[in-house]
């Protein structure tokens, strides 16, 4: 039986959560490959909207072999080179890819006026941590060397990601700092999976009945980093880092009804305490993943807020 939700939710949030709760599969019942098939079967045709000047699929040499990227260049003729956003999609480290986040990346590229590089990183459980992080790092290296060819400014490379992708944006920022580059100007963490602490206030309040539940979150971590040894690394769980000093300025976005919300807010505070310029923004009354549901009525105004914050961050 689904846990009772808060009675004060926006009616459209209540309605959308009910649809998600009923329709989204219990991920713990499947293998990674089976789950990808189930998710893929639910997805509609790729609409390729909004329109871009170019949206090019490229293959680069990654640490595990061929690494697919999709590079979005919006319309317009900027007087100067655009910022570059290297983006990692969500999906529990297990599913989703370039197509699931195609509309979001296009919308971000158009609204921010940025070159967006979406990364089709290796998925768990076939590829355990830190495979996805190393793919993200390779994509940032590629962007630093090649983005100028797409009208991007290599001095203004940001990393971004939602959910599990937010983890990769955070951890690649640590890796770039520790490895001496490439230089990352900003990090955008969207309801990021920051750590494996399942006993925070938001997990206690919203761990069941709000679409992204605690049981699924535990399962995702078991796929990506099944051993304690893997999770000891700051390149897997960024809160394990001794210091966050010297990281790029950050935009940390959380959703109130999301189990990882408290961890995201704590990470933002720790970044600030370690001297990083941080903007923390919580979308009250909203749930995990809402930014990638354009059909949800409250997504558009929330995106407008988000795009404005990103423009300020990378501008």
- Residues involved in catalysis: 163
Query: Is residue 47 exposed (0-12), middle (13-18) or buried (19+ Cβ within 10 Å)?
Result: exposed
CA distances from 170 to 7, 84, 207 (A): 34, 16, 23
Q: Vertex 178, ends 172 and 183: CA angle to 5°?
A: 65
């Amino acid at each position: 039986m689904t846990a009772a939700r808060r009675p004060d939710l926006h009616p459209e949030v209540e309605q959308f959560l009910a649809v998600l709760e009923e329709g989204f599969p219990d991920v713990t019942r499947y293998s990674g490959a089976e789950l990808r098939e189930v998710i893929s079967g639910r997805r509609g045709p790729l609409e390729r909207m909004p329109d871009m000047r170019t949206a090019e699929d490229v293959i680069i040499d990654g640490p595990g072999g061929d690494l697919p990227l999709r590079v979005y260049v919006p319309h317009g003729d900027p007087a100067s080179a655009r910022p570059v956003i290297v983006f990692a999609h969500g999906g529990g480290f297990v599913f989703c890819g370039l197509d699931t986040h195609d509309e979001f990346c296009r919308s971000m590229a158009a609204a921010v006026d940025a070159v967006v590089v979406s990364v089709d990183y290796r998925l768990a459980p076939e590829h355990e941590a830190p495979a996805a992080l190393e793919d993200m790092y390779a994509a940032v290296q590629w962007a630093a060397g090649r983005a100028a060819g797409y009208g991007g400014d290599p001095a203004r490379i940001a990393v971004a990601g939602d959910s599990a992708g937010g983890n990769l944006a955070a951890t690649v920022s640590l890796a770039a700092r520790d490895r001496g580059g490439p230089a990352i100007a900003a990090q955008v963490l969207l309801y990021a999976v920051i750590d494996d602490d399942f006993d925070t206030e938001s997990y206690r309040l919203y761990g069941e009945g709000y679409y992204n539940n605690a049981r699924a979150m535990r399962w995702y971590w078991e796929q990506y980093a099944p051993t304690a040894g893997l999770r000891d690394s700051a390149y897997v769980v960024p809160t394990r880092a001794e210091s966050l000093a010297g990281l790029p300025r950050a935009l940390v976005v959380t959703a109130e009804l999301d189990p990882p919300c408290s961890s995201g807010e704590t990470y933002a505070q720790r970044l600030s305490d370690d001297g990083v310029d941080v903007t923390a923004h919580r979308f009250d009354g909203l749930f995990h993943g809402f930014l990638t549901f354009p059909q949800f009525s409250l997504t558009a105004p929330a995106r407008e807020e988000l795009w404005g914050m990103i423009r300020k961050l990378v501008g």
